[in-house]
Chains A and B, each alone.
Chain A
Amino acid sequence: MSDPRPVPPDLPALVRAALSTTEDGARGAPTTSDLSIDEELSLHALAWEPVALTTGYAVVAVPAGAWQWGQGEIDVASSAHERAFTQALRRLESDVARTGAHGVVGVSIEREVAPSHIAVAVMGTAVRPRGAGARKGTPFVTDLSARDFARLVASGWEPLGLATGASFVYAPRRSIGTALAQQSQNVELTNFTDALYGARERAVERLQRSAMSYQGAGIVEVKLEEGPLRFASHAVGFAAWGTVVRLAGDQHLPMSPTLVVSLDDETRAFEAQTLE
């Protein structure tokens, strides 16, 4: 049986040669990346390369009084969230397009929902196939790590963009009679549960609509953030986002991983401190 493992390189010789040479191997403009070395190697094996660290930011105002008691959806907050998210992504895309990259991977998403504004900050490393020219059309955006991006591509799929959906709703007020009657009981607050479901339905519907606008087959790694808001406990928010994907070729390419069993047992160390 042949050994599938590659021959390990002669590291000391490699290091000595690399540190001895003063020859400038840099080709083209300096590139920047916040990928870990591991992630970079995943890309490297795929014949892709990092190009630039790219960012996008948007902040949208929410009018005063928006979070006070009301009924149904808090439209101004939901639309402010959508606007902030899409604007931040659009700015990220134009930052990526300026670098000539084909897309951006490992995008981190930070959302701030404050009483007076909603801010979205995104950041990731723009990438391209090694030596490739600029891509036609909008670059793709994905929050998948470079490793997951490599696995997705190796399976014959491609990321298209980030789909998002969010909804903020009021939890309807209980009548005084109901509140008093429920005061000494263990009881489900159906008004709150209903509000959460309402927010969820709207947010997921928007998420799907957003995915369809990319003409994707589906969304992977959907992230959900839900719950009451820190500054308005009678309002609940639900936000979802994920990477829209579609098949790049004719069919899915199965990966058939090799099974491995670790022979390590958990180390049982003698701890001297326990004697004290």
Chain B
Amino acid sequence: MTSSTGPGADERAGAFTSALSAADFAACLALGLEPIGLVQGLCAMQSTSFGRGVFSLATPMAPSGGYLANYPCPHGFVTGEHRPFGQNYEQTWLGHAWRDGYGTARTRLVDAARALGADGVVGVVEAETALADSGVLEFSLRGTAVRVAPGGLGTAEPFTTYLSGQRLAKAFEAGLAPVSIVGSFVSVRVWASCVTEFLLGGSPLQTWSSPSGPVEIDQLADAHARGRELVRDDARAQLRGGHLRAARLEIVERELGPGDIEIQARLRGNSLRPVGEAVALATPQPTLRLS
């Protein structure tokens, strides 16, 4: 490589910065992409319920607007303490806050890259930190802004991707071009019905030798299924003509109190769009390494 096409060759004012490892840096250059600078997108987002807001005092009939399902008590009135019904509801305000925070951080990352004249951002690293007890969630996205050497393409909307190095090179070889990073979050609250609470609590009065065998806890299973479905639907809506690749779906179940459960679903990945015709790669050669 000659100095005239080297990274930052025309950045007379200073050296380029990058968060790439040496191996990823080499792969990046092999792709004809030159690093310009380390860019970041930050957003601190407050939501009433990330910490100890009013909504964390969960009650049935919480305002929702998203997924809502009722699980009525089959027993009729028993005692004042007996729950008349249970509910599963999407905590839409949490989902909105998360997606706003993530989306804003992503927009700022892209803006910072555009300001540098980049065609894209590779090797995005993400951190999501809850500031203790303040109800604030901080989103931090950082990556290395790159442009097509020499000079760049002058892209209006630089791409972003979690991939870098050889993984990114292989994606290009397979006919996929990066569009954007994608992230989504859905929170479903389970306010257990009397039956669900009874099954979850393992009541000593429970007579279980029913002829139908083991009893499923439908309300909890429904909440898990809907949480996963909603987060996938939301991510799919962000793809902008691409396909979601190298994604990761994480599920966290938290018990907030007796019969009060929150299910969080987080999905992150890369939107990649196919370019050109799909060409089958050569069949990989099986090898056996002798030590």
Contact = CB atoms under 8 A, between A and B. Distances in A.
Interface of A: 4, 6, 9, 11-21, 23-27, 30-38, 40-42, 44-47, 50, 53, 55, 57-66, 76, 79-80, 82-84, 87, 91, 115-117, 119, 121, 123, 130, 151, 154, 255-262
Interface of B: 30-33, 119-120, 148-149, 153, 155, 159, 163, 167, 169-175, 177, 199-204, 206, 208, 213-217, 220-221, 224-225, 228, 232, 235-236, 239, 241-249, 251, 269, 273-276, 278, 280-291
B174 A41 contact: yes
B221 A12 contact: no
Contacts of A9: 173
Contacts, number: 206
Contacts of B31: 11-12, 15
Q: Among A15, A31, A119, which residue has the most Cβ atoms of chain B within 10 A?
A: A15
A33 B214 contact: no
Contact of A45 (B153, B203, B280): B280
A32 B221 contact: no
Nearest to B286: A257
Given A37-B171, A45-B283, A19 B120 contact: yes
Given A14-B173, A30-B243, A37-B163, A61 B199 contact: yes
State the majority secondary structure of interface residues on B: mixed
Contacts of A14: 172-173
B260 to A, nearest CB: 15
Contacts of B236: 30, 32
A79 B242 contact: no
20 contacts: A13-B32, A18-B172, A21-B275, A30-B242, A32-B236, A32-B247, A32-B269, A33-B247, A42-B284, A44-B281, A45-B284, A58-B216, A83-B216, A84-B214, A84-B216, A116-B200, A117-B217, A119-B220, A121-B251, A262-B291
B290 A25 contact: no
A16 B32 contact: yes
Given A25-B275, A53-B232, A121-B251, A91 B225 contact: yes
A116 B199 contact: yes
Contacts of B280: 44-45, 47
Given A57-B224, A64-B204, A117-B217, A33 B244 contact: yes
The 9 closest A-B pairs by CB, nearest first: A12-B32, A116-B202, A64-B202, A63-B208, A61-B199, A32-B244, A257-B286, A18-B177, A83-B214
Contacts of A36: 167, 246
A241 B244 CA distance: 29
Given A21-B275, A32-B232, A123-B228, 8 more contacts: A13-B32, A25-B275, A33-B243, A34-B247, A37-B171, A59-B224, A116-B202, A260-B290
Contacts of B239: 30
B216 A26 contact: no
